Every structure is written in C-alpha cells, then in structure tokens.
C-alpha cells in the first residue's frame, strides 16, 4: 500500500493543541479535513484557530494566499460522528485515558468504512490495548506526533500487536507525504523517544538528589560539555513537571517497575507542591517576570600549570586532550608509571587527572585523583565538570581547573559522584537504545533519527557509541553497577553483545 491520496478526507477527533496541529499538517498537505470534538462548539472554534494559523503562514511567506483560501474551503467542523463516514483516515487526539479512547474507536468502527485507517496519537498508552476491543484491529496504528505538530518533523508510527503490516506502511507513507520524518516502532512503553530519553532526566535528578551539583550547574554541563540544546531541568520546566513525571511513571509501570526507569522523589515533591514549571511560574527555576536566572557554579580563574605528564594513553574519547594541551602552550611529557593501567594526566603537585570511569575519585588506589567528565567533542566543549577525591588538596584542584581553563573551558567543580554528569547520562541513553534495538522496538537508524528529531539530541545514540567506543561505555556502566545497588546501572546484554560483535568485525 502507498500513502493516502491527498484528495481523500482525513478526520481529526479531539481539537486541543495537538489535534489542531495534526489537522493543520493534513490540511496543508492537500487533504479535506473534518474536525470533531465531543464538546459542542469546540470543533468550530478549532477551525477558526487553524484558519488564523494559516493567515500567519501567509504573512510569513510560508504559504501562498491562494493555497490558504483552498485550505480554508477544505476544513469542515463536524457535529456528529456519522459525518465522518466517508473519511480515509481518522487520527484521534483526545484525553490520555484508555477507556475514553476505546469507547471512541468502538463508536467510530460502527461509522467508518472497513478500509478506513484508524490511528491514535497517544504518547503513553498501549496501542495494542486501545485497539483491543475493535472488530478489525489490524487497521489500527499509532501516529505519535510531537508538539507542535506543524513544526516538529518526527512521527512515530507504532504497530500494535494486531496491526497489519500494510496498515503500518500506509501510515508511514502518509506521514512522509505530509512532509514528516516517520520512524517505525513496536508497541512498547514510551515507544522510541519517551523510552530512550528517560536517562536524560533521571540521571540529572539522581545527581541532584545526591547533592553533587545544583540544577543550573547540571544544565550548563550537559549543554556546554554534552552539546545538548537544553539542560534537563530547564526542559522539565518547559514540558511541565507533571507531564514529564507522568511519562516517566507510565514507562516505569509499563516495564513492571524496572529499577532502570524509577521515577524521582525530588520531582514528585515538586509536582505535589504545584511547582510545575513555566506554566505555574515556578519549577526548578523561578519563571516570574523579572526573576534572576541562577548561574552555574563556575570556578574562579586559576593559573595553568607550565607542564603536565601524560601516563599511558588517555581513554578513547579523551585522547584529543593531549593535542589541546600542547596547542595551549603547556609542555607535555609522556611517562609510564609502574602499575599504571589507566591513562591519566599527572599534575605538577602529583595528583592524577583522569576521565571518569564510573568509580568515585575518593579512595582511588593509584593515589589522589580528580575525575573529569566526558565531552562529546572536547574541542567544541566550552565547559568541563571536575570531581576531586577526598585525598586531593586545594592546590591540586587549582592546577586541574587552570589546565582546563587554559584550553578555553569554563570549569564546574562538583562533588565526587560516580560517572559525573555527561558520562553517566550518555552511557545510559546508549544502553537504553541498544536494548530497544535488540528487542525489536526499532532499527538502529530509526532510533538515531528519532532521538535527533524528537528531542533535538546532538547525535544519535548509535553514533555516540561508535565515536566514544562501546567498550568504554560498557565499562563505565559496569563500574557504576558495582557502586550502586539495585540494578539501575547494570549494562544490558544488548550492549555487551554489540561490543562482542564489534570485536569480531575488527
């Protein structure tokens, strides 16, 4: 099967923000669109709102005036379900309640033709469960758009347990014909994006709960060292703490309370207090007019050491640091210390500066140690997090800070926490992605596409794994697994298997 022809009618049921956005996408793609809402008058109001959006598109030069008029003529509110009898596709965007969706589709099945494609825009419910009571569940799919639907390109095309391959293909091709970037997903809690993105929030919350760093510092490190467009705390405030926590809780429950998906008590308290983020004026940050934005913890300027020694080879992702140090005019000598198996930078005072490996710096058997965080691109990074062990002197810390400042980096000194900030976040995202691929949720290519387009990640998890090295990522998670009880950081078998497969290819 191919895409639904542009001349055939699409119905959108539920006329809130998402429903209006989906209707606008179908309308601009050339379809006649019928809007239906159970509340009287809402469909007509939504049609008016969509018309005003089309006006703005014309004003911005994104839509010719003639096409706007044609689109307005194709947009019709419906007051009863039987008015949808001749549509080729119904996309539902009503409240996220299973019973409400099931009742709606049962009623639609009595109205539309047997070749009509039925789709839900659910982001948290099981597509299989929504279709469970239907007479023809094979024609039922998930079409998960991201908000705002007219702007964001990603659409997750979700196949339920009973979805026919032909129906999924039609949905995929239709989304592509509408100018979207569709990806295929199996029906699993969170689908692709909401499943794999959980560590981005969860690890930041964990670092905060362990009092290793404050939200502003964690956000800054993930933006300026990790390359993420927004930090997790500011993004949670934008999404809404209640919405973000509800998704986390839904995925956690969907996976039978797997510890890898455990929600945050700190976020629960924020929701209970009504501090929901931007929409409430207060969340992790104060969003009141005139509020002062908190600054990340940034170390004061320190003198750079005149020389450092590199012991063995720095770990894969940090190997470029030797070049950067030399380019900064700092003398580098290469040494091999007896019993030194881990690559590190030896500071003038004798302390070791080493990339985090998932173990704390405190108690390191090799001597006083300062761990530095992962950067996805050490040349481009503008901030680095350091975690000194308890045995390290203040002078040692100043030398480490001065070294990275000489490389043009702001430095945030945080408490000694395994995996620091970027490293643990990226490793968990890569592990979640490997697990999802191995379980047939989506292809590696679709996972990378989904994470880049759905949540604006600076790269796909598989791309990160190839660049950083799966062995390093697995070792970091395995080390963290031995630091924390409960299994949260146990590396998946899928990541271990991909590591072995890569070795065989070498």
Which residues are catalytically annotated? 123, 144, 156, 194
**Cα–Cα distance between 156 and 120 in angstroms, integer?**
11
Q: Which two tokens stand for residue 158?
A: 């979700």
Q: In this structure, which long-range contacts are made by residues 164-168, counting pairs with CB atoms below 8 Å and at least 24 apart in sequence?
A: 164/138, 164/139, 166/1, 167/1, 167/117, 167/138, 167/139, 167/140, 167/141, 168/141
- Among 437, 279, 302, 438, which residue's Cα sits nearest to residue 370? 302
3-state class (DSSP) for residue 193: helix
**Cα–Cα distance between 260 and 258 in angstroms, integer?**
5
**Cα–Cα distance between 290 and 339 in angstroms, integer?**
56
Contact call for residues 89 and 174 (beta carbons, < 8 A): yes
Q: Which two tokens stand for residue 201?
A: 């929030």
Count Cα neighbours of 325 within 13 Å in the Cβ-side half-sphere. 26
Could you tell me the strand order of the sheet in which 331-335 lies?
331-335, 307-311, 344-346, 352-355, 369-372, 383-388, 410-413
Task: Look at the alpha carbons of 324, 330, 335, 339 in this order and tell me if their dihedral is positive or negative.
Answer: negative
For residue 313, give the DSSP letter: P
Bridge partners for 283 per DSSP = none
Could you tell me the strand order of the sheet in which 75-78 lies?
75-78, 33-36, 10-13, 89-92, 117-120, 140-145, 154-159, 181-186
**Cα–Cα distance between 320 and 345 in angstroms, integer?**
12
């Amino acid at each position: 099967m191919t895409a639904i022809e542009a001349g055939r009618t699409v119905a959108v049921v539920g006329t809130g923000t998402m429903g209006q956005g989906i209707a606008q996408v179908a309308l601009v793609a050339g379809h006649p669109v019928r809007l239906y809402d159970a509340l009287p008058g809402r469909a007509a109001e939504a049609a008016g709102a969509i018309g005003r959006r089309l006006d703005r598109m014309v004003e911005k030069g994104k839509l010719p005036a003639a096409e706007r008029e044609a689109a307005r003529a194709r947009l019709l509110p419906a007051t009863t379900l039987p008015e949808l009898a001749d549509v080729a596709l119904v996309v539902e965007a009503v409240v996220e309640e299973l019973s409400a969706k099931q009742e709606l589709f049962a009623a639609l099945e009595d109205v539309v033709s047997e070749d009509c494609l039925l789709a839900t825009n659910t982001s948290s419910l099981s597509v299989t469960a929504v279709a469970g009571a239907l007479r023809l569940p094979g024609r039922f799919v998930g079409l998960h758009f991201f908000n705002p639907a007219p702007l964001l390109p990603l659409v997750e095309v979700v196949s339920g347990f009973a979805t026919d391959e032909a129906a999924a293909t039609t949905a995929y091709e239709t989304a592509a014909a509408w100018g979207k970037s569709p990806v295929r997903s199996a029906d699993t809690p969170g689908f692709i994006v909401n499943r794999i993105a959980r560590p981005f929030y969860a690890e930041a919350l964990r670092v905060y709960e362990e009092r290793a760093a404050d939200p502003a510092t964690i956000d800054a490190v993930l933006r300026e060292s990790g390359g993420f467009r927004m930090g997790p705390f500011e993004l949670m405030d934008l999404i809404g703490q209640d919405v973000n926590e509800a998704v986390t809780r839904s995925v956690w429950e969907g996976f039978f309370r797997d510890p890898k998906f455990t929600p945050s008590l700190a976020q629960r308290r924020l929701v209970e207090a009504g501090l929901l983020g931007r929409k409430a004026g207060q969340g992790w940050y104060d969003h009141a007019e005139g509020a002062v934005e908190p600054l990340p913890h940034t170390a004061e300027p320190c003198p750079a050491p005149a020389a450092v020694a590199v012991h063995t080879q720095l770990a894969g992702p940090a190997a470029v640091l030797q070049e950067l140090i030399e380019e900064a005019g700092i003398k580098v000598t290469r040494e091999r210390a007896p019993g030194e198996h881990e690559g590190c930078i030896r500071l003038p005072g004798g302390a070791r500066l080493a990339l985090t490996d998932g173990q704390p710096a405190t108690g390191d058997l090799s001597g006083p140690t300062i761990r530095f965080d992962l950067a996805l691109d050490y040349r481009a990074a503008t901030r680095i997090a350091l975690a000194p062990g308890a045995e390290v002197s203040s002078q040692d810390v100043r030398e480490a800070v001065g070294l990275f400042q000489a490389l043009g980096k702001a430095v945030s000194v945080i408490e000694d926490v395994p995996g620091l900030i970027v490293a643990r976040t990226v490793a968990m995202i890569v592990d979640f992605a490997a697990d999802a691929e191995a379980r047939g949720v989506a292809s590696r290519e679709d996972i990378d596409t989904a994470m880049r387009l759905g949540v604006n990640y600076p790269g796909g998890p598989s791309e990160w794994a190839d660049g950083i090295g799966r062995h390093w990522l697995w070792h970091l998670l395995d080390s963290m697994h031995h630091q924390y009880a409960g299994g949260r950081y146990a590396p998946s078998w899928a990541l271990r298997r991909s590591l072995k497969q890569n070795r065989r290819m070498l």
